[in-house]
Structure 1
Amino acid sequence: MTTQNLRIDHAVIVTDDLDKAITAWRERGFTVEPGGRHPRGSVNALISFADGAYIEIIAFPMPQEDFFWWHTLQKDGPGPIDLALLPEDLDALLVQAAEAGLGYAQPQDGGRKRPDGETLVWRTARPAETDLPFFCFDITPRTLRVPAAPRHANGATGFGAISLAVADLAASTRRWEALTGRTATAIGALPGLDAVAATLDLGTTRLVLLAPERQGVGTIARHLERRGQGLFGLSFAGTDPAVSYSQTAERPASA
């Protein structure tokens, strides 16, 4: 569908205690920096990487009844929630997405005030189905939104792989192929997750689509029931041994 150079912008983790989450990520060897406050009242912290992508850790001091991130947090607790891609031309990409039947809404204005008082402005566009990412497009310079990458004690330089839980692997694979213009590779069953998978690469990051091998059975099926389609797990390039994070990182081992 697209000839744009789509790239990973950021992965989103929701939490009910931002200070606690910052401490936990620092204990994993990451440098975490304050992000600021959004007009809607949410607050965040950021983990920036040398490859230009970052993690947003976001908390909601006040209810956000119109926002599915908040509802998922209330229903199922902290964990991975969403993925954003960075387009070169948002309006052109949305035209192409509409022609491909991908179901993106019209863009919305967004922003954040940093702790130093700098005001950031961007536009986002979200899909009707969360097996696809949302888009984040800067109005103010992206260098204001994304801090320069610090050194991480664990050696992380970016996302090695990003996994997403999807309900229908074949359908989501087609949608990702249409969005990115890349061909996915089916990799079959993953017995440990009771899942089937397909992969495609965006830059140096491997995207892994995971669907239940059998309806209602296994880790991915439970994730879909609890949190719906979308971001499931992250692994990080540059770490030895490999550092990873998933939905299960926010749960007791018996959950």
Structure 2
Amino acid sequence: MTGQAVKGIDHAVVVVADIEAARAAYVRLGFEVQPRGFHTRLGTANHLMIFGDTYFELIGIVEPNPFNAERRAWLEKGGGLANVALRTDGADIAHAAWTAAGLQPDPVLDFGRAVEIGGKTKQAAFRTVRLGTNRAKLLGFFACEHRTPQFVYRPEWARHANGATGLAGATVIAGDAGTDEAYVRKVFGDAVVRRDRAELVIDNGSTPIRYMPRERFLALYPGVAPRRHDDHPALLSFHVPDVQRAEAVLRAGGLAPVATPDGRVLVPASDAAGVAIEFKKG
């Protein structure tokens, strides 16, 4: 097998207790939210927000089963940003690389969901590799191979009122930024993981993941204190071409975003299904 096991971020996953309430929240935030889908075998329903080559996923449990036990456990802790899915050249490639790294990946899982395109039902197909046995203490990761990307990355689905063009990264609160350092080095490779003073940074592609102490988070993201008191993945960032436009859309939706002196706009987790949101120019 040839190819890269990990090629950057494919999508971010937020697990929610009430998927329809979460959908309504993201409509208020100015996202074009796709109709509900259902994952065969997994017992989960989702709503997607599509961008150019990334997306954001809200997931709710509709049929409890062994495949969604981890998701249900996450909800018991308070929900929120649970996983980042990683782009790969192939699920089998990722499985082999992670096995060699000692990560004990779960077997490759094949599943799909129906999507409607132009009035016709198509079947989007995926192959994923989860790290369920030997998992991270903070943000979880899995590899996602798209068998039918033409049924997911649709340009007509990527037109958001807030102007969002893609994921710009994720921020994780960690009492010790090095809690998962050895783990993420095995997942991503040493070349893209670095220390930046009190932070740990995974700089893989255009969507970096930053682990930082709570006091650092509160200084960088004023006014959006995390909902949970434990170490917790806390914030997702989105690129927008016009931050003022994004802020206007948020205010028109009845929200009270926080504008920072350096030109970003923040939304607290209470208004975004358990994960704080940042809009920044890019």
Which bin holds the TM-score, normalised by the shorter protein?
Answer: 0.7 to 0.9
CA–CA distance in structure 1, aligned partners of residues 203 and 268 of structure 2: 19
Q: Is the 8 A contact 2:33 2:49 kept in 1?
A: yes
Q: Is the 8 A contact 1:108 1:125 kept in 2?
A: yes
The structural deviation recorded for 1:246 is 6.8
- Does 2:151 align with 1:144? yes
CA–CA distance in structure 1, aligned partners of residues 24 and 31 of structure 2: 10
The structural deviation recorded for 1:175 is 3.0
- Cα deviation, 1:163-211, whole Å, max 9, x if unaligned, reads 235576435223323332324332334xxxxxxx211222211211236
The structural deviation recorded for 1:219 is 5.8
- Does 2:135 align with 1:129? yes
Find the counterpart in structure 1 of residue 85 from structure 2.
Answer: 84
Q: Is the 8 A contact 1:187 1:199 kept in 2?
A: yes
Find the counterpart in structure 2 of residue 203 from structure 1.
Answer: 205
Residues 200 and 71 (structure 1 numbering): CA distance in 2 closer, same or farther, change over 3 Å? closer
- Does 2:164 align with 1:156? yes
CA–CA distance in structure 2, aligned partners of residues 208 and 156 of structure 1: 20
Find the counterpart in structure 2 of residue 194 from structure 1.
Answer: none
The structural deviation recorded for 1:133 is 1.0
The structural deviation recorded for 1:19 is 2.4
Q: Is the 8 A contact 1:64 1:70 kept in 2?
A: no
CA–CA distance in structure 2, aligned partners of residues 58 and 142 of structure 1: 19
Paired amino acid for 2:104: G
Residues 243 and 28 (structure 1 numbering): CA distance in 2 closer, same or farther, change over 3 Å? farther
Identity among equivalent positions (%) equals 26
Helix, strand or coil at the partner of 1:101:
coil
Q: How does 1:33-52 map to 2 (within 5 A)?
A: 33-39=34-40, 40-50=42-52, 52=53
- Does 2:124 align with 1:120? yes
Helix, strand or coil at the partner of 1:71:
helix
- Does 2:70 align with 1:61? no
CA–CA distance in structure 2, aligned partners of residues 211 and 18 of structure 1: 30
Alpha carbon RMSD of aligned pairs, Å? 3.0
Q: Is the 8 A contact 2:6 2:94 kept in 1?
A: no
The structural deviation recorded for 1:113 is 1.8
The structural deviation recorded for 1:212 is 6.6
Find the counterpart in structure 1 of residue 72 from structure 2.
Answer: 70
CA–CA distance in structure 1, aligned partners of residues 226 and 162 of structure 2: 27
Give the total of aligned pairs: 231
CA–CA distance in structure 2, aligned partners of residues 235 and 72 of structure 1: 21
- Cα deviation, 1:68-113, whole Å, max 9, x if unaligned, reads 112322x144422211001012212222222222232221122112
Residues 113 and 223 (structure 1 numbering): CA distance in 2 closer, same or farther, change over 3 Å? farther
Residues 211 and 107 (structure 1 numbering): CA distance in 2 closer, same or farther, change over 3 Å? farther
Residues 29 and 242 (structure 1 numbering): CA distance in 2 closer, same or farther, change over 3 Å? farther
